[in-house]
Amino acid sequence: MKPNDTRGIWFSKEVFYEALGLVRDPETGMLKETKLPYMEAEVFPDGLRIYLAAYSENHIDENKKGKLTVVLVPTGEGKPGGPLHFDILSNPDQPPSGLDEAGGEDQKDTQFNDGQLCPPPVCDPEGLLNF
């Protein structure tokens, strides 16, 4: 690995909750399952698929140009004879947002690419696996 390569990506637990369709009940504080939009319907997620990706070399954010990242996509349970798990995408024809030159805020969708890259710039490599 080169010194400036992405070594790790941190996501808050709230990102995972949202990706899995879990919302906190304001009265009890407990997490409850909700459905996510899929095509013209809604489904309960059964897991996450993690895609490896890279930001464009033309990305507006200098700290992200060409850096490795991951895109989290919730999955749903497949039907007999079909795929075991299918990606829950509200717009399957749209690539993951935030990877191209425009940068800026990710569009709200059922894909998540808003982790904190390490390095740079705001990362203390202390505590990361050293391999």
pLDDT tens sequence across 47-68: 999 999 888 888 888 888 888 8
pLDDT band of 33, cuts 50, 70, 90: very high
At residue 23 the predicted structure's pLDDT band, cuts being 50, 70 and 90, is very high
pLDDT for the residue 121: 60
Q: Is 76 exposed, middle or buried (0-12, 13-18, 19+ CB in 10 A)?
A: buried
Confidence of residue 31 (pLDDT cuts 50, 70, 90): very high
The pTM is what? 0.78
Q: Which of 129, 105, 114, 89 is nearest to 7 (CA)?
A: 129
Instruction: Give the pLDDT score at 125.
Output: 66
Mean pLDDT of the chain: 80
HSE of 2 in the Cβ direction (CA atoms, 13 Å)?
7
Greater pLDDT, 99 or 27: 27
DSSP run (H or E) holding 71? strand 68-77
